[in-house]
Amino acid sequence: MRHALVAALILLAAAWAPGTAVAATVRVTTSAELTAALAAAAPGTTIVLAAGAYAPVTIGGRSGGPASDISLTGEPGATIAGMSITGGQRIAVSNLAIKPAGAPALVSVASSSAISFTGVQLDGGAGGAGASFELDDSASGVLIANSTFLHCTSPYCIKAAGPGVVIQGNTFDSLDDTDAVHGFGSGTIRGNHMDHALPHGNGNHNDFIQIGGGGPWTIDANWFGVRTNGAASIWLDPINGGLIHDVVISNNIVTGHYTGQYVGIFIGGDGTSAALLPRNVTLINNTVISGLSNSLRFGQNYASMPVDQRPLVVNNTGERLVGMCGRIRTSHNVFAVGDACSPTDVIGNPHLDANGAPTAASALLINRGDPSAPALDFYGYARVGAPDIGAIEFGGTPGVVAPPKVHAKPRLVAVKLRRGVRTLLVRVRTANSTRFTVTVLRKGRILAKAAHPGSARHGIAIGFAAPRHGVLTVRVRAYGPGGAVVRLIAVKARP
């Protein structure tokens, strides 16, 4: 093994010598070789893991260049027991199996941006230790795509706390007392298949998607199967006081009539105050053939809010909408049972097939939608003529997907500090941000922390109690769809 490791290091040194234009590809066969290859990796490097079991991988302070990633990819049979990425940029992970080796297999990303995981197979094992992803609030622009998640660690497969996450085209199944995604930052959850979130002895509140804070969120073109012991397949309600804002739920197909599968899509609990209910929420062109009590449910305190601040419900179809009219704004919805909340809503048989697709008999749906429908349907097909109601366009044709929107990176335009004898005033002005946090530290220990949701274009002042003596460090971090930015400032005591 020592000779193979030396050979790998010689190859790396030669490939990255000054003037070398060809990116290096390094094949490793042991955990030691992998550690050495990562330590020497430069932009454009591809590290290929041969078949075999590898210890948890640690990547710290490694970055791809402006036009090149550092890539880790696996040959068939390559399995890692976890991964930690800290302080990295443009790192691409693909075609690796992630399985526990005794302890749960955890993939964590923190203080990093533009990290991608594609073609990953995560399996915590039936009755095994479990496996999961944790994306810290300092991890921005993380992509998880075309991967498989089985037997995740309860209570989630993916916890996404940072801005700009994209979770797309994945399969989540055999979710034993586990949700698929917990969201607290912002991003897009699109084109995933989620099924079998069922009890397994741990008593988890099984929902497929739980959004507990943050925004903007787009939940689009996902398919949901059976689950129970939870509130809904898509669940939005603040967790630990987190504010949820700017959410679009579109083109989803929600199925399942398992015992206890009472609600399809749940927006705000009845016990949530009006001040904490999710804001600026739109449900458009969803097909919800699930919900033993209600296909859609909204918190009762929406009824106390101005009409223009209530959730907007447009072009949806499904089984039932009961008792919700005073809590929402509606247009062009068709449900088999319940209440027509506006003149354009209809209670009648949508004549869907067993998979939720419209049929030739779906006269209440075809060409009956509001023009605000998304340009593409559940399958990515272009909507033809006047849009149909529901997730699937009858007779839809393949459409052209628009290129992803590029968001400007947030900026800390100004940070001004004023320290009194026992006080500290921090005034922050940002651009391109959706929220910012201020943390006050002394000798590395957190003394106080505050967060402000929303924009701070015109400046926001936050006051703290502060010790009289000692140097304080103020850490200001701004978040937005385009990533995150941080600034550290030392503040001396007043003389």
Q: Which amino acid is at 265?
A: I
Cα–Cα dist 444/456, whole Å? 27
Cα–Cα dist 426/360, whole Å? 62
CB 236 within 8 A of CB 247: yes
Pairing of β 175-176 and β 317-321: unpaired
Q: What percent of the chain has pLDDT over 90?
A: 67
Extract the tokens encoding 143.
């992509």
User: Average pLDDT, stretch 284-309?
Assistant: 96
CB 138 within 8 A of CB 484: yes
Cα–Cα dist 124/94, whole Å? 18
Can the peptide bond before residue 216 be classed as cis, meaning omega within 30 degrees of 0?
yes
Domain 411-491, second-level architecture: Sandwich (2.60)
217-244 tens-digit pLDDT: 999 999 999 998 788 999 999 998 889 9
| 307-163-466-474 Cα dihedral, nearest 10 degrees | -140
CB 358 within 8 A of CB 365: yes
294 Cβ neighbours under 8 A, 6+ residues apart: 262, 263, 264, 320, 321, 322, 323, 324, 338
72-97 tens-digit pLDDT: 999 999 999 999 999 999 999 999 99
Q: Which residue has the tokens 């929420």?
A: 281
Q: Minimum mean pLDDT among 237-241, 283-287, 369-373, 434-438: which range? A: 434-438
43-78 tens-digit pLDDT: 999 999 999 999 999 999 888 777 678 999 999 999
| Per CATH, domain 2-13+21-304 is 2.160.20.10 | yes
Q: What are phi and psi of 101, to 5 degrees?
A: -120, 75
Cα 493 to Cα 116, 410, 414, 442, 447: the distances in Å are 43, 30, 21, 12, 15
pLDDT at 250 over 90: yes
Q: Could you tell me which of 296, 292, 238, 288 has the C-alpha nearest to residue 260?
A: 292
Break the chain into its structural domains and give their ranges: 2-13+21-304, 411-491
Cα–Cα dist 374/390, whole Å? 11
Cα–Cα dist 383/358, whole Å? 13
Specify the pLDDT at position 399: 53
Specify the pLDDT at position 153: 93
Specify the pLDDT at position 11: 38
Q: pTM for the whole thing?
A: 0.78
Specify the pLDDT at position 244: 96
Cα–Cα dist 395/389, whole Å? 13
Strand segments (E) across 152-262: 156-160, 165-168, 171-173, 175-176, 179-183, 187-190, 193-194, 197-198, 209-211, 217-220, 223-224, 234-236, 245-250, 253-254
Q: Could you tell me which of 261, 229, 235 has the C-alpha nearest to residue 247?
A: 235
Please list the residues that pair with 416 across neighbouring strands: 427
Cα–Cα dist 96/73, whole Å? 6
Task: Name the burial class of residue 32, with classes exposed (0-12), middle (13-18) and buried (19+) by CB atoms within 10 angstroms of its CB.
Answer: middle
| b/e map 384-396, b = 16+ CB within 10 Å | beebbbbbbbbeb
Extract the tokens encoding 67.
């036009």
164 Rama sector, left if φ>0, alpha if ψ -120 to 50, beta otherwise: left
411-491 shares the fold of 2-13+21-304: no
Please list the residues that pair with 234 across neighbouring strands: 209, 265
Confidence of residue 409 (pLDDT cuts 50, 70, 90): confident
Extract the tokens encoding 426.
């921090």
